[in-house]
Structure 1
Amino acid sequence: MKLERLLIKSKFQSLNSQKLSQVFKNSRKKSAWGIDINECFLRVAKITQVSQELLIDDLGIIEIPQVQSESNDSQSADVKKAIQAFLSKHNILKEDKVVMSISGQSVLPRFINIPPVEKKQLKGIVNYEAKQQIPFDLKDIVWDYQQLTEKVADTNSIEVGLFASKRATLDQLLANISPLETRLTAIQAVPLAIYNLISFDQQINGLTIIINSETESTDLIIVDGLYFWLRSIPTSKVDADLVKEIQRSMEYYKSLMREASNFQTILLTGNKFNEPNNVKFITDNFTYEVKIFKTLNNVKLSSNVNATDFNENILHFTPALGLALQGIGLGRIKINLLPPERIKTAEISKKKPYAIASLGCLALSLLIQYSGLYTRNTYLQNSETLYQKVLQNIKELEGKYKNAETHTQTNKSALDLISSVDPSRFIWLEGLDKLVSLIPNNVSLSNIQSSWIDEGAINSSKKVSAEAVQPKKTVASTKPGPLKKLLLMGIKGESQEPSMRFIEEHIIKPVQSLTLFDQKVAAFKNVEIVPGSSRQVERKNGQGNHISFEIRWIVKSIDEIHDEENSVISLNGTSTPPNKS
């Protein structure tokens, strides 16, 4: 079956230096470390937010020896040594955030369009989509999602990004950085970290592709306003094969667009583009404007960082800087692939000192209260007047309790009202999912639509048909009752099998018998082919004749479903045999 990809265009306003004052307004000092680990390097960057400035406070590159071995034990040992070397040279403060990278090849990205719903419903729908989109058992992966576009009045969908990584891969990473595990705030994919830095610091005009080429892989990030698309290629050589893969990715992205899209800029980053020959090779093989990421606009260097060393190695630090921005809270993409149980452990660890202090204060408060109550109790034993005051206080508390009970009952009624809302609001999602699954492979749909109509519209059409074959009779006029709303659904498409019998057998009949949710009877009625919609379509490309069609039906109401189910139960139930005389 074929369905077109939906895409919502939106204007993108980049963050420039003039708006930084609004971003940092009333903010206190924050610091975050971005730690980027690959097979060859451990690269770190610390960004501090002070007043209305972002400062790079610390940088570091530690090489990881390359060991030719089938086992990962040697590589893990070298990573652990690099972590120890980092900790010996750099001081991580207690309040600093730490965000770690994971390679783009270890992350599975999925971009989905769903109907615009309230935030409280979004998580359930995304969880359902994750089961459909991610080809692994959810128990074996860690995944996170983020809504990428806002709900707009004139659009019928929002875009959500799903990102998943195998739990075994993340466990291995955490084992290698065990000294930092308790300090870790988040784990982010390298291409998403680069996107966070570029979207925050650079002015992106038009459709742009970012190429991040490292020693072991190359990441492609296509930026199109508020939209982006990712692909990781397991190659580190800047050659003709890489150019072909980049061109394939660009053409694939353009095929997703309903409107014609033309790339304007290529932005290069990654240590591979420290070599001028690699930059020249990309420039010679593409007609677009080629830029190298070499300056920062919204982030400055502190006096602790050597400007010359930084400028020479800036292509190394793009992922680490993007990770640090996310740690401060300034990254647009806030995906966190740190396992949920580790997040809870870290939160509990951070709250322990506060919990101990709170318990100490509570114990002291109880001790003071106990002492006061003991003194008061002794006094009350000898004072009838104070006893009456206490009795009066009890009566007042009783009145407050009754008021609170009344308030609770009032709120309960409101909650009962909310819970009684018709569950048919999910009929579109369930119906679309099952409808798509029953359409044959040689049938393509061009349109799926639904609308609410008055019941009178259906009855009037039937009445006209009846009057065409029967003589008119004079009847007394009656006052019409309130009209009910009916949900009318329909599909348009083409069948490669140019036979109306095929459409009736393989589309109309399955739609007539389709059931939704846990219902026992068919969910649709009045399934019919729209008169005049069926016609032969001749293909010029030699594919033979097709037949176009339009089918519509009415969704049964909840009351109709219940009545039919009760009828089925009564027919299938036990009956008393007749008495024999």
Structure 2
Amino acid sequence: MLAEKTKNIFLKIVLTKHTESTMKKSAKTRFLPGNMKMMHLLKSRKHADTCKPALQKRPSLFKQHNIKTVLGLDIGNNALKAVKIIKKNNEVTVVDFDIIEYPAALPNTKLLESHHIRDAIKIFLSKHTFSKKTDVVVSVPGQLALSRFSTIPLVSKKQLKSLVSFEAQQQIPFDLKDVVWDYHRLSGRTPNEEGIEIGFFASKRETLDSIINNISFPEFNLTGILSSPLAIYNLVLFDQHVEGPTIIVNREEENTDLIIIDHAHFWLRTIPLHEVNADFVKEIQRSMEYYKSLSKSTDTVHFEKLLFVGNKSNDPLLQKTIQDNFTYKVELLNTLNNIRISRTVDQALFSGNCASLSVALGLAIQGIGLGKTAINLLPKERILAAQIAKMKPYAVVALGCFALLIAIQYIGLRTHISKLNNARNYHQAMLQNVKNLENTYKNADKIFNEKKSELEFISSIDPARFFWIESTEKLLASIPDNVSINSLQSSWIDPDALNIGEGKAKKNQKDSIVKKCLLMGIRGESREPGIRYIEEHVLQPIKNLTLSGQKVAAFKNVELVPNSCRQVYSEAEATECISFEIRWLVKSQEEIIAESEKMDLQEEKNNSSGM
């Protein structure tokens, strides 16, 4: 904003000086004789024509920010693929690309720790010149990234961040300190859908550090890290015409990425198979059926097209196998619709490798700000450092111009302005100190009230403090033998955060304390194939569970977590199982007493009517 103001002031001064000069010359011509006046006008017009291009060049110096250059680097198992894209005036153009092959990593070594990757980047830098530091977005292979999809209750924007963080702990099977994760809010597949569907994407810091070390060259300014399937999703939505549900198969050397695009909704899966056989076809069919099962109405999902990308997409065996087993329209990504190819690029060579360069193209699309998602697995501390480094030259130039204008126009008032600024800063500092003290007091009071309400609620659940032992024993006793429990969780939550109808937060009118609820849940696996068995033999007993001395159920709002039921392979049992997650709220002592009294009154009423 400061640079923009400086530019406007500079242009205004230049135009004003030119206008004043023109007016002075036109005033002089009023007193010249006829022939001399005509010659002077012609000379002035000629002079004005020569000045016009100079004035037009000045604004062009300030339009360079409309040009953005990004390099997409796809690090594969045996090749480095790079695409350089320039965005200028909303036009996207490929200006350079390259594919540098190298030996595949040995079976007992990690892919990203191979020294061949860094050697390939050195070869790339020796073949291509960079006039300045270039923004780079790099890929992390699909098999080294984690993607999970979950549905959370409808909440406000303020509550969404905390609820997403809580859900990330449940979905990501690693300590969050050891990974970098990000999320994307998906649009609903059907209108008026209850809940918010969130896609979680993560990768281990160890993996990301290897990527960062591989591309740590002075010519590169790393601005983003993105998984290969997400990069392909960006490219297809930006460049290809996708009208209905589409299946994208990214065939690489060691694995296959499966991307399903359903309008603005998408779903990802990495298949650890590199051979095209019956198992490969079965995994694709299984993934399609699973995606259909996620929709409430399977009739709404009708796949129309299957698109091939990746290194192995030109394999004739792959294309024949797909065409023999699927009735969908099969296409190979070999043409671009919304991306131009520069004349300096070998058109035929690029077209022949277009499918292999799909990941690099999608990375570059993300880098210029035209990606459908804003997922970035670059550690936050590196993002902040890159932003600061990028803004330093502009800040220095802007401050220099501003200081020059101030020195020219306001040098006489410098001392007075300095005194006013000092006084203003002093009073602002004092005001800020008062606000800080006030915020500190409010935070301390809030923490005190929260801890107080939690202690009161714990004591209200069971004064004898046997609640945990008895509830756990009875809960485990109600589980059938062919169902195993993997984990039992509990946490204190604000009922409003889960949007539970019967569990609205109750405020004490005296001190406005919000009483929190105890949220419990279990995760387990059932060897029975149907979800109905879980509902009848696990969910229902939990709903009806009572504790000693109580006539009513101890829990409320018992439910299966949406999208938690999925078919998995149990290594302990060596068989296919259905994993599930059930959560519920614990009733307070006041609720149990109220329900018991209501039950007693109803029984007395029934007895009196029977007599």
TM-score (norm 1): 0.63
**Structure 1 residues 264-295: Cα deviation after superposition (integer angstroms, max 9, x where no partner):** 22111112121223211211121222222122
1:198 offset after TM fit, Å? 0.5
- Partner residue, 2:591: 524
- The separation in 2 between residues aligned to 1:242 and 1:211, in whole angstroms, is 11
SS at match of 1:315: coil
1:316: which partner in 2? 356
> Which position in structure 1 is the counterpart of 2:213?
175
Tell me: CA distance 1:237–1:524, structure 2 relative to 1, closer, same or farther (3 Å): same
Alignment check: 8 A CA contact 2:151 2:196 kept: yes
CA-atom RMSD, angstroms? 5.3
- Partner letter of residue 158 of structure 1? I
1:206 counterpart residue number: 244
TM-score by length of 2: 0.60
Note if contact 2:188-2:265 (Cα within 8 Å) is conserved in structure 1: no
Q: Which residue of 2 aligns with 1:97?
A: 135
- Quick check: 1:226 aligned with 2:264? yes
The Cα of 1:354 is off from its aligned counterpart by 4.4
Whether 2:84 is the aligned partner of 1:33: answer: no
- Picking from 534, 544, 553, the partner of 1:509 is 553
Aligned partners of 2:136 and 2:542: how far apart in 1? 65
Structure 2 stretches lacking a partner, 5+ long: 1-63, 458-467, 484-498, 507-531, 559-582, 600-611
Which of 254, 262, 275 aligns to 1:216? It is 254
Identify if the C-alpha distance between structure 1 residues 497 and 146 changes in structure 2 by more than 3 Å, giving closer, same or farther: closer
- 1:238 corresponds to: 276
Please tell me the residue identity of whatever aligns with 2:89: S
Closer, same or farther in 2 for the Cα pair 1:52/1:360, shift >3 Å? Answer: closer
State the match for 2:119 in structure 1.
81
Cα distance in 1, alignment partners of residues 382 and 415 from structure 2: 48
Q: Percent identity?
A: 43
What's the secondary structure of 1:82's corresponding residue? helix
Q: Is the 8 A contact 1:30 1:96 kept in 2?
A: no
Give the C-alpha shift of residue 55 in structure 1. Answer: 1.1
Partner SS for 2:313: helix
The residue type paired with residue 355 of structure 2 is L
| Cα pair 1:151 1:157 within 8 Å, conserved | no
Give the Cα separation in 2 of the matches to 1:501 and 1:55. Answer: 60
1:253 to 2:291 alignment: yes
Instruction: Tell me which amino acid in the other structure corresponds to 1:450.
Output: G
Q: Which of 374, 383, 389 in structure 2 is aligned with 1:343?
A: 383
Change (3 A) 1:530 1:166: farther
Equivalent residue runs for 1:244-393 within 5 Å: 244-260=282-298, 261-354=301-394
SS at 1:116 equivalent: coil
Kept in 1, the 8 Å contact 2:149–2:197? The answer is yes
SS for the counterpart of 1:156 is coil
Match of 2:83 in 1: 45
- Quick one: which amino acid aligns to residue 321 of structure 2? F
Q: Tell me by how many angstroms 1:362 deviates.
A: 9.0
The residue correspondences of 1:404-415 to structure 2 (distance < 5 A) are none
Match of 2:512 in 1: none
Distance of aligned partners of 1:84 and 1:106 in 2 relative to their CA distance in 1, 3 Å threshold: same
Aligned to 1:476: none
SS in 2 for 1:237: coil
For structure 1, list consecutive stretches of 5 or more residues without a partner in the other structure: 1-25, 378-389, 456-491, 532-581
Q: 2: distance between equivalents of 1:313 and 1:211? A: 16
1:549-580: CA deviation from partner (whole Å, max 9, x where unpaired): xxxxxxxxxxxxxxxxxxxxxxxxxxxxxxxx
Query: Match for residue 501 of structure 2?
Result: 450
Superposition deviation, residue 143 in structure 1 = 0.7
Q: Comparing both structures, which one devotes a greater share of its residues to helix?
A: 2
Structure 1 equivalent of residue 514 of structure 2: none
Measured after TM superposition, the shift of residue 60 of structure 1 is 0.7
Identify the match of residue 146 of structure 1 among 166, 184, 200.
184
- In structure 1, what is the Cα distance between the partners aligned to 2:557 and 2:312? 60
Determine whether 1:65 maps to 2:132.
no
Amino acid at match of 1:187: I
Q: Distance in 2 between matches of 1:193 and 1:239?
A: 27
Judge which range, 110-119 or 355-364, deviates more. 355-364
1:554-565 maps to which residues of 2 (within 5 A)? Answer: none
Q: Distance in 2 between matches of 1:438 and 1:86?
A: 62
Distance 2:286 2:122 in 1: 42
Alpha-carbon distance change, 180 to 127 in structure 1, aligned in 2, over 3 angstroms:
farther
1:117 is aligned, of 138, 141, 155, to 155
Which piece of structure 1 moves more, 223-232 or 120-129?
Answer: 120-129
